[in-house]
């Protein structure tokens, strides 16, 4: 784990800021036409900033809230298990689990 060192204004000591925790992904299917990935987020875990190269569908396996850091700003969305949604290629964001419990979804990328 990599720590960033920040000065402690009150006493001159150095405080540590932990590195971000990243979501875990498992590719379940990968063909010329489709890629299916399961994403598992611990509380506070994130994907890291990325741009989607393909149209995709997300199928939440957990109900809860995700924080999206997008070029236009930060927003939070509430998702319901089993309620899918689709987005077009070109979406740029960092996805963060805003819940105090693990969150999972399936992502289906269309090639």
* pLDDT tens sequence across 7-40: 444 555 556 677 889 999 999 999 999 999 999 9
pLDDT digits (tens, 9 = 90+) for 93-107: 999 999 999 999 999
User: Is residue 56 predicted with pLDDT exceeding 70?
Assistant: yes
pLDDT at 20: 85
Locate 66 and state its tokens: 């995700």
Helix (DSSP H) and strand (DSSP E) numbers for the chain: 0, 11
Predicted confidence at residue 1, as pLDDT, reads 43
> pLDDT tens digits, residue range 60-80?
999 999 999 999 999 999 999
Residue pointed to by tokens 């960033």: 4
Nearest to 105 by CA among 61, 75, 63: 61
Give me the pLDDT at residue 18, please.
77
pLDDT, residue 7, reads 46
Entry pTM: 0.82
Distances (CA, A) of 88 to 38, 40, 52, 58, 62: 19, 22, 8, 11, 22
């Amino acid at each position: 784990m990599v720590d960033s060192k920040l000065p402690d204004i009150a006493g001159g000591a150095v405080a540590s800021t932990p590195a971000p925790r990243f979501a875990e992904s498992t590719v379940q299917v990968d063909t010329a036409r489709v890629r299916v990935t399961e994403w598992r987020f611990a509380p506070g875990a994130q994907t890291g900033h990325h741009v989607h190269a393909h149209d995709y569908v997300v199928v939440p396996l957990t109900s809860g809230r995700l924080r999206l850091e997008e070029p236009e700003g930060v927003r939070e969305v509430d998702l319901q298990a089993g309620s899918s949604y689709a987005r077009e290629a070109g979406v740029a964001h960092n996805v963060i689990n805003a819940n105090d419990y693990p969150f999972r979804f399936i992502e289906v990328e269309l090639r």
